[in-house]
A and B are shown apart, each in its own frame.
Chain A
């Protein structure tokens, strides 16, 4: 019996080895075979195709055939599809282009520990994806390593620029770094906060004290101070790196917001991911306690749409970060053959960032905000991206 078990174990181990060999061999073939096809073949067809889709449905089948030549991989970060935040935003852009081109979709998602990003990108690239998108700044190292290992494959990363060991930025020809001018969007909601505040005191809650989040604060401050130079701004970060739980801890978000509302702030903006739910709770509870209208400002997507009906009356607006536009336009580029490596900043001028109007609470100040937006686009106002 015991011997039989050993034999079985040996057999199982052997199967694993064989399977592993098979996988890598297959992977090697496909990257070589498909990568050139993607850069050359689809380019002329799809430009034609994209105009066709608007005209008639008969031609779409042709487009589908063209698009299906290639595969595009979207690798989600921890939250995954359904997170109602930046992963869902990326998925929206992905789905839109999938319907348009009919490429072969590959969706992968980092595990909860977040330690398999490298392997997932490797998996997608080795299976011959023409474009591999790592969604989120935590993919930085993994994208860098894989872009060097698969020079024929196009990579894109949202929210991060590649940097070497000394933090000096550098580019790879096959990596597109999709960046957002969060400070510009934050400027607009900061202005909205200052216009709506009656106490002359507003607040900012950051999830984790990292430069990416401080960029939000810098823009928010600049916007509020542009409207009212005497405004008082309180800010707090829920955790310090490397503790990233500040993005997923609504209880902390609620208590930080409580302190700000207690202290006389009447508008609070958050850039704290999932912890922001606590801010909305706090806005409701403290409004009822103080008997005044207190406001909260959402982030990334239009949070009015996903909040429950009880919380909606407290969500003034949201700073929108259009990850969907960035993902969609990158897929366009790959299919049109116009992919270029390096930084790409999605700012106010391409509506890569903005503010939401759902709920109608900012309708009375929308004209002023749009005026500010125009001034930022034409360079009259320069928004700082770091805290001074």
Chain B
């Protein structure tokens, strides 16, 4: 569980990882949650809760948040707080909009990454080279990002009929999509059975195998790739060491500045990629303000996920699911989810009660309140649906506060030769 164990060279081999996966607590609790979800779907009769189209939408809505969160992960693992993710994402959207319009979506993605990289370079220059406070630099980059988008649009797009100061022309072409052969049909058959658990898992997997863009796949492959890179390679160990204790790393001969620079550059490129996803997968063009705070939500997903790639992915998925319910107008599903959350919280309280006794009181109350709310409320106001993922993040953070652990030297300015 702890970082130091996994960081050792004699870390467990992938084979044992697979084995331990099925006895893993995460897996077991996911299975319990899934069964509960399925049970409630059947009891309340809200079929939309697991239609494959909703799960496909969830995937698309989660990716930009995931990419921003992963971006934050690289920077913060190297000890650089990055609240400039939003600004880097904005730069990503602008550059992706231009690239996709001029040369098609794939070069647009590449361009978007370059845009984010520029933001990352600024942040690295300010925080690593000039030791400016990380928050100040991050805020500045958010402002610069928004301003640059407007400025560049004024330079490139004014006078066009299909674009202007607030938006780019539409991209040419689009990213190819694929459907996994055989598997997608198997999952569809599973979904169509509508059986307990089988139907729901079928719905999810069907949504994740049909009509998926290659960019989405690429984005999700970045999660295992980041786990491997950060926890299984020398590069990753050194990068993380600069976030935990740069002075110790320095004493062992790690070029701390270089690693921090590289980490922040990767961070910017990933955030830019998240911006590019919005452009090439959903909007088809750059529009001023289109990131809508997703960079900050990515930061929340990072904290939710305890500064670990799989955790970031989970956080992004929850935010994505919340957005899905809201945008697909599924207030009945949200109401059913109240019951789900209530019972889930009670189960958690029961588990908590065994180890922590009275401390579980809050969970008991919360669970009961949610179930009461389910029976009291006819339809959930849209405001609450929009709010739900944030509330969930707060709950998780408050419950897991003791176990969330940010890199030890995160946000602390580092100067070479100042070991103490």
Chain A residues packing against B (C-beta within 8 Å): 79-84, 88, 112, 209, 234-240, 243, 245, 248-256, 258-259, 262, 274-275, 277-278, 280-281, 285, 289, 305-308, 310-311
Closest Cβ of chain B: how far from A201's Cβ, in Å? 13
Given A248-B288, A305-B161; 20 other pairs, CB 8 A cutoff: A79-B288, A82-B154, A83-B165, A112-B150, A240-B382, A240-B386, A245-B292, A248-B287, A249-B290, A250-B283, A250-B284, A251-B64, A253-B283, A259-B327, A277-B167, A277-B170, A277-B287, A281-B284, A285-B174, A308-B162
Residue numbers in B under 8 Å from A239 (CB-CB): 386
Contact yes or no, B162 A307, CB < 8 A: yes
- In the complex, chain A residues whose CB is within 8 Å of the CB of B324: 255
Q: How far does the alpha carbon of A365 sit from the alpha carbon of B292 in the complex, in Å?
A: 39
A311–B288 Cα gap in the complex (Å)?
20
With A240-B386, A305-B161 in contact, is A250–B290 under 8 Å at CB?
yes
Task: List residues of chain A with CB within 8 A of the CB of B174.
Answer: 285
For B158, the chain A residues whose CB sits under 8 A away are: 82
Let me know if B169 is at the binding interface, CB within 8 A.
yes
A262 touches B147 (CB 8 A): no
Contact in complex: A255, B327 (CB < 8 Å): yes
Which residue of A is nearest B385, CB measured? Answer: A240
> In the complex, A82→B159 CA distance in Å?
8
Q: Which of the listed residues A83, A245, A252, A310 has the most CB atoms from chain B within 10 Å of its own CB?
A: A252
B35 within 8 A of partner (CB): no
Q: How far is the CB of B49 from chain A (nearest CB, A)?
A: 14
The chain B residue sitting closest to A85, CB to CB, is: B166
The answer on a CB contact under 8 Å between A259 and B283 is: no
CB neighbors of A among B253-301 (8 A): 278, 281-285, 287-290, 292-293
B328 contacts the other chain (CB 8 A): yes
* Cβ–Cβ contact B329 & A259, under 8 A: yes
**19 A-B pairs with C-beta separation under 8 A:** A79-B288, A83-B165, A84-B167, A112-B150, A248-B289, A250-B282, A252-B327, A254-B283, A259-B53, A259-B327, A259-B328, A259-B329, A275-B287, A277-B283, A278-B282, A278-B283, A281-B282, A305-B161, A306-B161
B60 within 8 A of A: yes
**Residues B154-181 near A (CB distance < 8 A):** 154, 157-158, 161-167, 169-170, 174
**Contact call A79/B328, Cβ cutoff below 8 A:** no
Residues in B with CB closer than 8 Å to A81 are 165
Closest to B387 in A: A240
Determine whether the beta carbon of B146 is less than 8 Å from that of A84.
Answer: no
Distance, CA A284 to CA B173, complexed state (A)? 12
Check if B293 sits within 8 Å of A240, measured CB to CB: no
Residues of A within 8 A of B165 (CB): 79-83
Q: Confirm or deny: B418 has a beta carbon within 8 angstroms of a beta carbon on chain A.
A: no
Known contacts A239-B386, A250-B284; A82/B53 CB under 8 A: no
A243 touches B150 (CB 8 A): no
How does the 8 Å CB contact mask read for B326-345 relative to A, with 1 for contact and 0 for none?
A: 01110000000000000000
User: What 5 pairs between A and B have smallest CB-CB spacing?
Assistant: A250-B283, A248-B289, A82-B164, A259-B328, A308-B170
Given known contacts A237-B382, A245-B293, A277 and B285 CB-to-CB distance under 8 angstroms: yes
The residue on B at minimum CB distance from A83 is B166
Q: Is B360 an interface residue (CB 8 A)?
A: no
Q: Is the CB of A274 within 8 A of B284?
A: no
- Given A80-B165, A209-B382, A311-B170, also A256-B329 (CB < 8 A): yes
Contact of B290 among A234, A240, A251, A259 (CB under 8 A): A251
What is the minimal beta-carbon distance from B389 to any residue of chain A, in angstroms? 14
Which of A112, A250, A311: most chain B CB closer than 10 A? Answer: A250
**Bound Cα distance A248, B294 (Å):** 13
Q: How far is the CA of A285 from the CA of B386 in the complex (A)?
A: 26
CA–CA, A245 to B294, complex, Å?
11
Residues of A with C-beta under 8 A to B393: none
CA distance in complex: A311, B386 (Å): 30
Chain B contacts for A88, CB-based, 8 A: 164
Q: Does B10 contact A (CB under 8 A)?
A: no
In this assembly, does B83 line the interface, its C-beta being within 8 Å of a C-beta of chain A?
Answer: no
Q: How far is the CA of A238 from the CA of B383 in the complex (A)?
A: 11
Distance in angstroms from A14 CB to nearest chain B CB is: 29
Cβ-based interface call for B57 (8 A): yes
B352 interface residue per 8 A CB criterion: no
What's the nearest-Cβ distance from chain A to residue B98, in Å? Answer: 15
- Beta-carbon contact of A255 and B283 below 8 Å: no
Q: How far is the CA of A306 from the CA of B285 in the complex (A)?
A: 13
Q: Which residues of A contact B327 (CB under 8 A)?
A: 236, 238, 252, 255-256, 259
B166 touches A82 (CB 8 A): yes
The answer, yes or no, to whether B66 is at the interface (CB within 8 Å) is no
Q: How far is the CA of A112 from the CA of B165 in the complex (A)?
A: 12
Q: Is B211 an interface position by the 8 A CB rule?
A: yes
B61 at the interface (CB under 8 A from A): yes
User: A83-B165, A209-B382, A243-B386 are contacts. A250–B60 as well, Cβ < 8 Å?
Assistant: no
Which A residues touch B282, using CB under 8 A? 250-251, 254-255, 278, 281
- Closest chain-A Cβ to B379's Cβ sits at a distance in Å of 14
Q: Which residues of A contact B285 (CB under 8 A)?
A: 250, 277
- List the A residue with the shortest CB-CB distance to B53: A262
Which chain B residues in 30-70 approach chain A with CB under 8 Å? 51, 53-54, 57, 60-61, 64
Q: Which A residues lie within 8 Å of B283 (CB)?
A: 250-251, 253-254, 277-278, 281
Q: Chain B residues with Cβ under 8 A from A240's Cβ?
A: 382-383, 386
Report chain A residues within 8 Å CB of B284: 250, 277-278, 280-281, 311
Q: Which residues of A contact B61 (CB under 8 A)?
A: 251, 255
